[in-house]
Structure 1
Amino acid sequence: MSETENHFFSDVCQFFDHAAQFTQHDAGLLDQIKSCNSVYRFRFPIRKGNGFEVIDAWRVEHSHHQSPTKGGIRYSEMVNEDEVMALAALMTYKCAIVNVPFGGAKGGIKINPKNYSVQDLENITRRYTVELIKKNFIGPSIDVPAPDYGSGEREMGWIADTYATMNPGQGDALGCVTGKPIALHGIAGRREATGRGVAIATRECVSVAEDMKKIGLMPGISGKRVIVQGLGNVGFYSAKFLAEFGALIVGICEFEGAIYNEGGLDVNTVFEHRKATGSILGYPLATKEFKNTMEGLEQPCDILVPAALENQITADNIHRIQAKIITEGANGPTSPEAEAVFTARGGMIIPDMYANAGGVTVSYFEWLKNLSHVSFGRINRRFEETASLNLVNMVEGITGVALTPMQRSTIVKGASELELVNSGLEDTMIRSYHEIRETLVQNPKIDTLRTAAFVVAINKIAVSYKNLGVWP
């Protein structure tokens, strides 16, 4: 591992150590919470063309204070052990912050998916799953993977099928992985969950008038200028829902470059343009475009949403970032040095381990669905509709006022699975934000939302260890 690769986990630990001083736990317990419990590195061969290729892969289980552990699998040629350890640690803290009863884990396969056929990717994914099964690193009550950068529903379907095939008769087998296609007992709303969570987190942050006054912004999301880095799953849905909430998407950045229009960009048409041409550059309604994606991050805006990879905002470019709020859609996009500079000049960072927790929150709902073997809303939806209909009929009979068909359809309605999932996600993100903010407000020595989020997470994990009898 090169010197430059070995920094992400130390960055996470640096944030942890800073927050730990605001807790009352002894050093041994803090060390246990911070450390990665299990690191499994392995290699396996696949047949490619007329020869073979050896694939490097990892699965890290950071904390077993809750079971199962939970975390995505990243498919990237930039994957390394330090990165997977850091992401697993963030998952532990993320789950604690949003009150999801999992320990943190993460996986990585060191490939560029674009260089492999669908058959090759299936072979790699299935073999990776077999290796996890052999070492007891996967299972509905052991360790539950999910999608991450470079993977999606298709790969999760292959994992579920491989696990179920190798565990015949296990009724909960499909709970071994989340982010599956709906047809394989996935859950409505999972694909867009992380981006929706990012948007809700941002909206909730800017709704607090007291905090916005401190950084020179009017409260409310309406009209806020937003630049989003990344037009993948997280970036696209973050931009889409922020726009629906009333924000103005003025900039979009991707690896090939960036586009900007102070009057606003339509996310859907930018996405279609990129799909048709292979690049966001050349989008006809952009007033500025940059071949260097970093220049796109530095344009005028109120809110910057880095939703690509880690280490995008550093000491080298933080002085040119004009945003007043950074919402971390990606994991670890801001270095500790950059955060210190940004907050010192009055900026706010909504930290990754809270902001992008929408994915694991809805994954938790999917896992519950798989274990209960019933879709949300299936049992009670018609009952709710009938009860509402009876109430409407009674009110109309008493008042003599008939509702319009549109009014009636709005009231006489049972919640679908998607509506229940989105409601649960929104409630989780709102409650968690105010829990973090309350911790920040109550302790004047705590300097940032990230530190407050770490304090919240550390305290919850410490309680779990003590309840298990592991710590006195």
Structure 2
Amino acid sequence: MEKHKAEADIATHDQNPYKIVKQLLSESVKQLGLDESIYHILKKPMRVMEVSIPIRKEDGSVENYTGYRSQHLDVLGPCKGGIRFHPSVTLDEVKALSIWMSLKSAIIELPLGGGKGGVIVNPEDLNQRELEELSRSYIRKITPVIGPEKDIPAPDMNTTPEIMAWMIDEYDKLRGYNIPGLITGKPIIIGGSEGRLDATGRGVVIHIREAANALNIDLSRATAALQGFGNVGSATAKFLHESGVKVVAVTDVSGGIYKEDGLNIPALLEFIGEGNVIADFKECESISNEEMFALPVDILIPAALENQITSETAPSIKAKIVAEAANGPTTPEGNKILEEKGTFIIPDILCNAGGVTVSYFEWVQNTMNYYWKEDRVNKELEEKMIAAFKRVYEMKENKGCEMRQAAYMVGIRHLVLALQARGWIQNGDLSKL
């Protein structure tokens, strides 16, 4: 009973991500001078699936988990998006994430739509066998709506290349032959792409570099703080360090660490790789999330969960650049406070698009059955990220708005032009786009 109550509280909270994305869509459609009907097309996923996943536990009991898959819009191509395993997953969260994926692909100009999946589960409560059974059972349940031409899943929060391998193996068993293009983020040995694991973090740092250039900030003299040190946060820290940025603070669920002269990022990465936690890293001070947000750094990178920069935390933020490596880390109230301060925000649908971009490259390689070297992957990724940043920054300058609004408008513009080309939109003057 308590579990269901917690889920309901999340779904009805005033920071509901689906409500937030609908509000931003509505404002952006108006800003572009488009008919309200465009908003009504974009605000709802075209298909949402809820599945029941009973799993037999080691003690013989059966736990029934709930899973979702949301497919927002396939006007540009098959839907694409990750699968997350987390206890706070909700239907509205998955819907919102699928819309963000559509916009992200449109901003990058990928031939993909937006999808997202999730299972309400804490993976730490499962042993290896139970986790594999959950992964395989989930993919079996959503098999009718996925496929390399329909919807292409990928890793997300608490899902790994190993879990993707279990899922694609299960799908191949059902189909009777190997279909590597079904899922991206796979191990390289079974069709994964070089560079995929670091792609989101690499993309974040490319966008930070472009923002720093626009603001005349010398990255070799810049400081940064990160919230979250999973795959995205750790890769971001690595590439920031390589760019000469001094990373002074990192926090995650275990706690936080701070060193004014800069953390030893290579040593920290090695420490975490050995199975240790952030809070146990030596030769630095402990720091809370609230204290980390308030540090006088040049760059702040939220790389954890949604709704972290709020009306409570935003007033203390001093960073010149906030790079949203996580999905939906800033609430509308927090965003308003940052914009009033003049903080340069690199919005999530632009900032963390490196992952879906290299997932697209992986899908392309699977389709061709020809695989690229990592240098080519990284070069193609950089070109896509730079072009997308320029599109959004130009929209910002032309419309006199902030980066988040500009990103939404760039994404919506691309989707609307595709809708018009397919004949979904019959009326209205779109010449201003």
Would the aligned equivalents of 1:33 and 1:462 in 2 still touch at CA under 8 Å? Answer: no
For 2:80 and 2:380, the matched residues in 1 are separated by: 19
**1:106 matches 2:112:** no
> What are the within-5 Å matches in structure 2 for residues 315-394 of structure 1?
315-376=311-372
Q: Are 2:235 and 1:225 equivalent residues in the alignment?
A: no
Q: Distance in 2 between matches of 1:260 and 1:460?
A: 42
Q: Distance in 2 between matches of 1:188 and 1:47?
A: 36
Q: Distance in 1 between matches of 2:280 and 2:68?
A: 39
Correspondence for 1:254: 252
State the TM-score, normalizing by the size of structure 1: 0.86
Q: 1:17 and 1:155 mapped to 2: Cα distance? A: 37
1:423 and 2:379 aligned: yes
Aligned-residue offset at 1:257: 1.5
Match for residue 21 of structure 2 among 12, 16, 27: 12
Kindly provide the amino acid, as one letter, of the partner of residue 24 in structure 1. Answer: G
Structure 2 residues not aligned, in runs of 5+? 1-6, 427-433
Q: How does 1:439-454 map to 2 (within 5 A)?
A: 439-444=395-400, 447-454=401-408
The SS at the match of 1:259 is strand
TM-score, normalisation: structure 2: 0.93
What is the alpha-carbon distance in structure 2 between the residues aligned to residue 2 and residue 130 of structure 1?
Answer: 27
Partner of 1:289: 286
Q: CA RMSD in A?
A: 1.4
Deviates more, 1:71-80 or 1:109-118: 109-118
Matched residue count: 416
The 5-angstrom pairing of residues 31-70 of structure 1 reads: 31-49=40-58, 50-70=60-80
Cα contact 2:302–2:326 (8 A) shared by 1: yes
Q: Render the CA deviation track for 1:337-387: whole Å, top value 9, x for unaligned.
A: 1110111011111000000000000000000001111112xxxxxxxxxxx
How far the C-alpha of 1:298 sits from its partner, in A, is 1.9
| Distance (Å, rounded) in 2 between the aligned partners of 1:155 and 1:347 | 38
* Distance change (3 Å), C-alpha of 1:17 and 1:52: same
Displacement of 1:274 after TM fit?
4.0
CA distance in structure 2 between the partners assigned to 1:273 and 1:295 by the alignment: 23
Which structure would you say has the larger Rg?
1
Q: Please list the CA deviations of residues 388-439 of structure 1 after superposition, one character each: whole Å capped at 9, or x if unmatched.
A: xxxxxxxxxxxxxxxxxxxxxxxxxxxxx10000000000110110110011
Q: Is the 8 A contact 2:29 2:36 kept in 1?
A: no
2:182 paired with 1:182: no
Give the Cα–Cα distance (whole angstroms) in 1 for the partners of residues 11 and 80 of structure 2.
Answer: 24
Amino acid at match of 2:28: A
1:69/1:103 contact within 8 Å kept: yes
Q: Does 1:466 align with 2:420?
A: yes
1:25 is aligned to 2:46: no
Map Cα deviations across residues 268-292 of structure 1 (whole Å, 9 max, x no partner): 3223334557432242221x312x3
Q: 1:203·1:220 contact (CA, 8 Å) conserved in 2?
A: no
Q: Distance in 1 between matches of 2:173 and 2:280?
A: 47
Secondary structure in structure 2 of the residue aligned to 1:178:
coil
